A and B are shown apart, each in its own frame.
Chain A
Amino acid sequence: MKKLIITSENVKFLQKINELADQDITLCEQCGTCSASCPMVAEMDITPSQLMRMVQLGLKEVMETKAMWVCASCYTCTVRCPRGLDVAKVAEALRQVYLRKALDYIEIKKIPKYEFVSLPQIAIVSACRKFTG
């Protein structure tokens, strides 16, 4: 088992995500309502509540997980959170960390033009932002 060492770096990461999501993620009581409500959870490598926990602890490894990209932004977690936390927004904040690095998962130029015109705009945007593939 890997040892978990918690330093002030961890707190900084939590603060950053708190700020991006405009949420106090420390308030998550780890009840699991979000996970059991999530229609995409079967496709995720970690559950939404686990994602919240990792951010609480400031574990940057959360950035390597897939769950935030699998999130369909359906907001069921947000609607049901008994602490009133916007869980979907936390997933969005994690995606933002990537976005702000201007890393697109799909290079738009590489999409053939005929395909590009037939794709709905929203699909292109989400394909860039949310690498679900």
Chain B
Amino acid sequence: MKIGVYVCHCGGNISEVVDIKKVMEFAEQQGDVALVKDHAHMCSDVARKMLVDDIKEYGLDKVVIAACSPQFHGRTFMGTVEKAGLSPYVMEMANIREQCSWPHYYQPELATKKAKDIVKMAIVKARLDEPLEKKTSPIGKRVLVIGAGIAGIQAALDLGDAGFKVYLVEKEPSIGGKMAKLSRTFPTEDCAACILSPKMADVPANPNIELLTNTEIESISGFLGNYDVVAVRKPRYVDITKCTACDKCAEACPVVVPNEFDEGLSSRKAIYLPNPIAVPHAYVLDDKSCLGLFPLACSKCYDVCDAGAINYDEKPERINFTVDTIIVATGYEIFDPRKKKVYEFAKSKNVLTALDLERLISLEAEGTVLRPIGRRIAFIQCVGSRDELVGNEYCSRICCMYATKLSQLLKRADPKRDVYVFYVDLRAFGKGFEEYYKRAQRTGVKFIRGRVAELHEDSHTHKVRLKVEDTLTREIIESEFDLVILSVGLRPSEGTTKIADTLRLIKSPGGWLQEAHPKFRPVDTLADGVFICGCAQGPKDIPDTVAQASAAAARAIRLMNKGEYEVDPITAFVDEKLCSGCGICAGVCPYEAITIELKDGKRISRVNEVVCQGCGACVASCPSGAQQQRWFMTSQLHAMLSAALGEEV
């Protein structure tokens, strides 16, 4: 057997810590090693050509690449050895970057020692590798998109236009998400509703999109190419095909409750249109505030509905369907400023969130003035962001720009206004953002660098007094304002957290959904065929949300378009001699790939290798060692352990 070992410098990432020469000398002494080389960048085109040539010239049958994580470049090198005519499964990566040079930066000698151990483990594993062959599996063209904010809408439209069948599931009675609430959008100041509503209208018009509003996901099981979805449609009590949105029902309804679309600043009836641009454009009956869903309690809406659209007897409906891939676009919620006690949010009616202000400005543009905005206005930045006291270390990325937008909209509407933005750092990172910030300054908005320490409402005048240091002059400012706007940060929506649990997705700090790789797989997850986009992945603005949504659609299309996809042959199989048919494996298999069958009168476990996803649960649970997993054979793992422990192998 001839094993080739290649040690990568990673342009200094490894070689600045690990002594490459020593690792090479060590590798040379290992049995079956026929060739040891190093390279500044093993992943580069030249180095990979060299690898192909070496495999052919020296007749290598196994390859060990000591470089970065297989998560990062595993596929790259598998492709390279395949090009040289070998099975991609005789290539092993020894991760001496993420698991060695990076974490042990300050201990180069120990790092070198560890690198040797890691390389040795890869060599002993490679020695036992078998030249497995790739499998292919059939795949259909059905996608579940969860959440219909701008992210979900964009992804659904892209997929629908490309000819894929989309199930778009939205838990609210209308699609549109948070963007539907906004006034204008930075940095161009387009009216949010004007650019969003055509896209919203395109959704039901697209023959490939099945829109399920007022619907939540109950469960998802299965795997890439075969996800079984159970969704539950909550009763709307209004037939959307019959409702003409004439408003007679709402006029008749005696119940008045706060309107969540206007952040509770206005009120609505128990039967109502979710918002002026709602899609589907139909009323919904809120059964929590309705006086009772039977004619004896109150049937005013039912009585006036000429279209006969109201049905009090509607029940929750379970909907089952199967999809091949999934896109999660479940978005964000704003930080609840009541958690930031020093800002007295709950106590003063003159302290509002930025989302409240978005609604006030939108409604004013439509001719409804809910309350006066006043002459002196202060924006407080970083409320719930970059604040370890409330447990949020991250920057919410959009608040600098929305405050820049809202402040200048107020100032331009009434140039006599005094508008101040109190910020910690002004982050105008996007295209056209710096110019937009400058425009705000030119408009006369005053930007003051300092985090507001406290707010107090004057009990007589109801004006709000704030205290802040201008950190550039070191003066302490104490000033009174008519209105204080809290530029609240973003946090993952409850729906995002729920879906993460349903799909067992990994979360990054802060609870956002974690991408498979921050640079090269920004919308993939580690669950095959599950993609993420928009604010569910992390705080971002609309341009970035839309870009990610289209990216997620493209990544899903890439998997489904050919009608089949390549699968690693890393599946479990049974050693029938050892198997006692106890069935523990079948019980732990999350994919229902294992059945217990009778063979010659003996109970035996059988793995359906098409269904098996290679998670290894059965192998770990098998008491007799009968279950084995290809590429991760127990013999291989034992050899690696022995190598790590310094035993002779």
Contacts and interface: CB of A to CB of B under 8 A. Distances in A.
Interface of A: 29-37, 41-42, 46-47, 49-50, 80-84
Given A49-B474, A82-B388, A82-B389, A32 B468 contact: yes
A32 B471 contact: yes
B467 A36 contact: yes
27 contacts: A29-B424, A31-B424, A31-B451, A31-B471, A32-B451, A32-B468, A32-B469, A33-B469, A35-B474, A35-B476, A36-B450, A36-B452, A36-B476, A36-B477, A37-B454, A46-B474, A47-B474, A49-B471, A49-B474, A50-B474, A80-B342, A82-B382, A82-B386, A82-B387, A82-B388, A84-B388, A84-B389
Top 5 nearest A-B pairs (CB, nearest first) are A32-B469, A36-B453, A31-B451, A35-B469, A32-B450
A57 to B, nearest CB: 14
Contacts of B454: 36-37
Contacts of A81: 389
Given A31-B382, A82-B382, 14 more contacts: A29-B386, A32-B453, A32-B469, A36-B467, A36-B476, A36-B477, A37-B454, A37-B467, A41-B476, A47-B469, A81-B389, A82-B388, A82-B451, A83-B388
Contacts of A29: 386, 424-425
Interface residues on B, range: 20 to 34
B39 to A, nearest CB: 37
A60 to B, nearest CB: 19
Best-buried of A30, A81, A82, A84 by chain B (most CB within 10 Å): A82
Chain B interface secondary structure, helix, strand, loop or mixed? mixed
Contacts of B452: 36
Nearest to B448: A32
Interface in B441-490: 449-454, 467-471, 474, 476-477
B211 to A, nearest CB: 42
B412 to A, nearest CB: 29
B451 A33 contact: yes
Interface of B: 342, 382, 386-389, 424-425, 449-454, 467-471, 474, 476-477
Given A82-B389, A84-B389, A33 B453 contact: yes
B469 A36 contact: yes
Contacts of B387: 82
A50 B472 CA distance: 10
A30 B471 contact: yes
Contacts of B388: 82-84
Nearest to B475: A47
A85 to B, nearest CB: 9
A120 B188 CA distance: 66
Given A82-B388, A84-B388, A84-B389, A47 B476 contact: yes
Contact of B450 (A31, A82, A83): A31
Contacts of A34: 453
A34 B467 CA distance: 11
Contacts of A84: 388-389
A42 B471 CA distance: 15
Given A29-B424, A46-B474, A49-B474, A80 B468 contact: no
B612 to A, nearest CB: 47
A36 B469 CA distance: 5
Nearest to A81: B389
A84 B477 CA distance: 23
A42 B477 CA distance: 11
A24 to B, nearest CB: 13
B474 A36 contact: no
